[in-house]
Amino acid sequence: MSSIPKIIIPRTPKFEVPPTISESLEPGEREPLRARIRDLLREKDAVLIAHYYTDPDIQLLAEETGGYVSDSLDMARFGHEHEATTLVVAGVRFMGETAKILNPEKRVLMPELQAECSLDLGCPPKEFAEFCDRHPDRTVVVYANTSAAVKARADWMVTSSVAVDIVRFLHERGEKILWAPDKYLGDYVQRQSGADMILWNGSCIVHEEFKSLELEDMRRRYPDAKILVHPESPEAVIRQADVVGSTTQLIKAAQALDARRFIVATDKGIFHKMQKAAPGKEFIEAPTAGRGATCRSCAHCPWMAMNGLRNLEHALVTGSGEVFVDEDIRVQAVVPIQRMLEFAMTRKKQVLGASDA
């Protein structure tokens, strides 16, 4: 723990949050659609890579067809290592952009290009560049949930699964950090690493709705439950966690921990995979409503919900939803992403080496 002061930029750009509307299919529509998408993936030499927050139908299709469902770090890694010439990324735009930045020779499609992320929208490249210019002595670390142009300005990109390790590593090298855009994750990373950090004032509209007082009430109702929290959540929620981690880390914890019941503070799309990974265990949504709550997302990301079977099929048939990244930006943005991938790979080898020894 450290008490190093942080500066938070007191400004969040305004943007529209769409209502959360998941696709509703007519009876009898699902199976033929799934079959067509399977055929199309084969015909187009395409692989489907999905995030855990997407619809279970999409996650199942990814797994049945040799694709992948994971957190944002492993989605990037999988797409980079896969031999398919087309990557179909079901998630939000920064995930498709990251795939394109790493694989310029591949076609990257998304079911819905308007699938944004409040963190990305809340960190416009121009304002971010001005922020960086005011702090030239700091190493710029950005979260994956940013545009290609913001990544192009960064020294490092991180995802929630490696953020603490990377910032701790930089801190131990004596570097001071400029962090963007998630203030809650940044605050958590700062507390864990003790690094000198200044933070951009961004947040995830889904995770910031988890309510700490109502969570305390819920814990009293389920005293046997373990609490799993994504670090995009507010500090008072994180403080109550038994495990804080990326989506993959939370699923692994649900499997590994000796508990029958879990309260989960992240997008409820994760329950599909959690239930499969830990059958027989009970998962309860952490509270988003209650005193003072507006519940804009109610624990489900409106942009992730835009991914459906219909627009996935449409993208494969028409090539719509293709992701393009300006080449000048791409060549700069690939540097911080590759740094993170190499760091994560080295860390993984060290952990495996230590467990072999």
For residues 332 and 101, give the distance between their C-alpha atoms in angstroms, rounded to a whole number: 9
Least distance CB 298 / ligand SF4 (angstroms): 12
Question: Which three-class secondary structure string do you get for 273-340?
Answer: HHHHHCCCCEEEECCCCCCCCCCCCCCCCCCHHHCCHHHHHHHHHHCCCECCCCHHHHHHHHHHHHHH
Residues between 51 and 70 with contacts to ligand SF4, criterion CB under 6 A: none
Interaction partner, residue 72 (ligand SF4, ligand 13P, none; CB < 5-8 Å by kind): ligand 13P
> Do residues 18 and 211 lie in contact, with contact meaning Cβ atoms separated by under 8 Å?
no
* Binds ligand SF4 (CB under 6 A): choice among 149, 179, 303, 306: 303
For residues 199 and 11, give the distance between their C-alpha atoms in angstroms, rounded to a whole number: 11
Least distance CB 119 / ligand 13P (angstroms): 8
204 lies in the binding site for ligand SF4 (CB under 6 A)? yes
Residues between 195 and 214 with contacts to ligand 13P, criterion CB under 6 A: 204
> Over the range 98-115, which residues count as b (16 or more CB within 10 Å of their CB) and which as e?
bbbbbbeebbbbbbbbeb
Query: Which of residues 15 and 324 has its CB atom nearest to ligand SF4 in the complex?
Result: 15
Part of the chain binding ligand SF4 (CB under 6 A), chosen from 8-16, 203-211, 219-227, 241-249: 203-211
The token pair at 77 is 């890694």
3-class state of residue 107 by DSSP = strand
246 lies in the binding site for ligand 13P (CB under 6 A)? yes
301 lies in the binding site for ligand SF4 (CB under 6 A)? yes
145 lies in the binding site for ligand SF4 (CB under 6 A)? yes
> Do residues 47 and 81 lie in contact, with contact meaning Cβ atoms separated by under 8 Å?
no
Whether the ω angle into residue 5 lies within 30 degrees of 0, i.e. cis, is no
Partners of 226 in beta bridges: 262
Count of residues near ligand 13P by CB under 6 A: 10
* Binds ligand SF4 (CB under 6 A): choice among 267, 271, 321, 336: 267
Least distance CB 132 / ligand 13P (angstroms): 23
232 lies in the binding site for ligand 13P (CB under 6 A)? yes
Part of the chain binding ligand SF4 (CB under 6 A), chosen from 113-121, 122-130, 285-293, 327-335: 113-121
Query: Which of residues 121 and 204 has its CB atom nearest to ligand 13P in the complex?
Result: 204
Query: Which of residues 145 and 288 has its CB atom nearest to ligand 13P in the complex?
Result: 145
247 lies in the binding site for ligand 13P (CB under 6 A)? yes
Nearest to 262 by CA among 231, 225, 287, 233: 225
71 lies in the binding site for ligand 13P (CB under 6 A)? yes
Q: Is residue 87 classed exposed, middle or buried when 0-12, 13-18 and 19+ CB atoms within 10 A define those classes?
A: buried
Q: Is residue 221 classed exposed, middle or buried when 0-12, 13-18 and 19+ CB atoms within 10 A define those classes?
A: exposed
Least distance CB 94 / ligand 13P (angstroms): 8
Rule CB under 6 A: which residues touch ligand SF4?
92, 117-119, 145, 204-206, 232, 267, 301, 303-304
